[in-house]
A = this chain, B = another copy of it.
Amino acid sequence: MRQPSLDAIFRPRSVAVIGATERAGSVGRTVLRNLVSHPFGGVVFPVHPTRETVLGIPAYRDIPSVPGPVDLAVIVTRAPTVPDIIEQCVEAGVKGAIIISAGFRETGHRGAALERAILERARGAGMRIIGPNCLGVMSPTGGLNATFAKGMALPGSVGFISQSGALCTAILDWSSREHVGFSAFVSVGSMLDVDWGDLIYYLGDDPHTRSIVMYMESIGNARSFLSAAREVSLTKPIIVIKTGRSEAAARAAASHTGSLAGRDDVLDAAFRRCGVLRVDHLSHLFAMAEVLAKQPRPSGPRLTILTNAGGPGVLATDMLVANDGELAELSEGSLSALDRVLPRHWSHGNPIDIIGDAGPDRYAEATRIALDDSNTDGLLVILTPQDMTNPTRTAERIVDVVGESPKPVLACWMGGADIQAGTDVLNRANIPTFDYPDTAASVFNYMWRYADNLRGIDATPSRPVDAGDVTRQRTAATVIDALRPMGRTLLTEFESKQVLAAYGIPTVATVLARTVDEAVARAGAIGYPVAIKLNSETVTHKSDVQGVHLALESETAVRHAWSVIEAAVGERVGPGHFQGVTVQPMEQLDGYELIVGCSQDAQFGPVLLFGTGGTLVEVFRDRALGLPPLNTRLARRMMDQTRIIEALKGVRGRRRVDLDALEQLLVRFSDLVVDVPRIRDVDINPLLASPDRLLALDARIILHDWSVADADLPRPSVTS
């Protein structure tokens, strides 16, 4: 399934620059100069319509005239010329192209047409294209600089992919000041051909790359990204900053349940599912690349903090706990061991305050004990310069003790010149150092979350098909296929509950009544009080047409409700929208109201939702998204992302809800969505969760339009 390798782009033996010129300040000149200023071990062919040389290098009229094979063409000519150039490249057997030129889809329809023309000519020929509208590509470990940037990235182990050329320039400038080195430095432009997925696979295989860092503005081909990231993140950390959260914030204002799944939240769910770490600050992007490349992954969120001063330890604790990290609870053994090596006044707990006069030996002994504690998932060592403090020698001793520990260790040597030598010692030993203790704690929070996401990848649901599956699929199909002849896409509440019930999701006993007398009879059979609701094949929001009447105590009340509904529907939307009512027993609302749903994302297909339901759903937005399919472990991860989980576990002496049953319900709900791609939206709201039972009180299913063929229905973006 994989496309041809990107070696021609990253490791070319010959590069043609189409549009090379000598004009001062021109992109064509800069690209050519960059290529020849940094030896990459290959040959450069400037292509110019008339000149015999450019910058003293023999030039050629066009690609066909170039003597010898060309691996990579770098194109800087005006946009309208590019399709023909690409055609020539394909004919000449060029394997890769970087289109730096702008003037394509970002300028409107004509530019978009040019892009299509390029794709038509390139597809099938096996040529890979980066761009258009990009800064170019650097491969610092091989020496290649095929960009029009002002400088060259330092060689190193970070593979950097950016969707913003301007940011590339700024990062390049900043990275030389901060001595950050790169294995690859890619400006992707508008990703006409080579996309995130291609680059992730390529850098995943690249031995020089230890971590992959991305600045992302749009996801592009979601499936390609997901597959590549799920595979590669198991061996190399992938860290992304993705802009556009605030768009989601804006959409949040448009408060309609159907739009709950804001696309940025879906991306978050996708990143979690494929083990990608998303950071919020540009300043964290490269810091996390460094930390994750240098340090092992924590196996949990429990940090032990070791310090020679109280204040910095508390600062770190505040930040740790504020973002759901935990202070490790030291074992009895560790406490006794620390008692033996520390002065009497030590803090006797975590943070381990080893007192201001701590010297290198005390630091080393306490570090050894803290690291050995099985409750410790990671260690932060803080040093403030005080009497007796020896920052450098302490660093050396810590490095010795930490050795090849399988647990991550971070350090915070606070201060300026006094501690510089110490931080150098730590950095050389791959122990990351931070100026501030709270920053270090934030980094640890990123680390355990990232590790937790990675563990989720292993949990790829595989689902044995059994007889039950066949039955429930058949039942759901029967209900849904019955709607096809009428072209109906909205299931009534009654029909929706039938589908859910087929998948073992408990629903309120609900019966149909086509006449008022039938409604009265049904109510009598069920027993008062009852609820009467509109049954309509067309009306989505029943309460908008006075279609919900609760706690009816008598036949009179039922008849009254019937007439109110019939009149309101007739008046507001027309009598054709009234197909009787449903009659349900009144359930005691003694549990928590949850929402379970699925809606479609344009990029990721079906997206699952779990959270707090009821009237305040829009206010608290306490919800988690996930991509189907689920297993119980993934279902539990969704539940754990909400705040309502605390209530479900039982608060203030209340009994807990059966969380295992809730996991199972989510998995069956996910199965339904996967089995029946015809379903576009489905909401259970509320799902009543009490210690004794789970119960879908109301449900709504909407189908994809029947004009969409079965084969074209969106499928889950995660495939096993």
Contact = CB atoms under 8 A, between A and B. Distances in A.
A318 B246 contact: yes
Interface in A218-271: 241, 243-246, 249-250, 255-256
Contact of A174 (B309, B415, B438, B651): B415
A436 B315 contact: no
A612 interface: yes
A345 B108 CA distance: 11
A194 B480 CA distance: 77
Given A245-B322, A249-B322, A314-B217, A166 B309 contact: yes
Contacts of A244: 314, 318
Nearest to A541: B652
B311 A163 contact: yes
Contacts of A177: 416-417
Interface stretch (A290-298, A565-573, A574-582, A613-621): A613-621
Given A170-B385, A255-B651, A419-B173, A215 B643 contact: no
A369 interface: no
A418 interface: yes
Interface in A500-529: none
Contacts of A336: none
Contacts of A646: 618-619
Contact of A619 (B281, B418, B644): B644
A314 B436 contact: no
A44 interface: no
Contact of A283 (B165, B435, B651): B435
Contacts of A176: 416-417
A281 B436 contact: yes
Contact of A356 (B163, B166, B281, B437): B166
Interface string A589-633: 000100000000000000000001001101110100000000000
A53 interface: no
Interface string A418-451: 1100000000000000011111000000000000
Nearest to A164: B311
A647 interface: yes
Contact of A386 (B25, B169, B312, B618): B169
Contacts of A241: 315
A392 interface: no
Contact of A321 (B178, B246, B553): B246
Contacts of A416: 173-178
Nearest to A648: B619
Given A255-B652, A618-B651, A321 B166 contact: no
Nearest to A162: B311
Contacts of A317: 246
A536 interface: no
A411 interface: no
Contacts of A419: 173
A252 B192 CA distance: 51
Nearest to A282: B436
A498 B107 CA distance: 71
A190 interface: no
Contacts of A318: 243-246, 280
Contact of A173 (B308, B319, B417, B438): B417
Contacts of A163: 311
A91 to B, nearest CB: 33
Given A310-B164, A414-B170, A418-B173, A322 B385 contact: no
Given A150-B385, A176-B416, A217-B314, 17 more contacts: A167-B312, A169-B415, A173-B414, A173-B418, A174-B414, A217-B311, A245-B322, A246-B327, A280-B438, A281-B438, A282-B436, A282-B437, A283-B436, A283-B438, A592-B616, A612-B619, A620-B643
The 9 A-B pairs of least Cβ separation, nearest first, read A166-B309, A173-B415, A164-B311, A170-B414, A177-B416, A246-B321, A243-B314, A173-B416, A166-B384
20 contacts: A164-B312, A166-B311, A170-B415, A173-B414, A173-B415, A173-B417, A173-B418, A174-B415, A178-B416, A244-B318, A245-B322, A246-B318, A246-B322, A255-B652, A280-B322, A282-B315, A283-B435, A616-B644, A616-B647, A619-B647
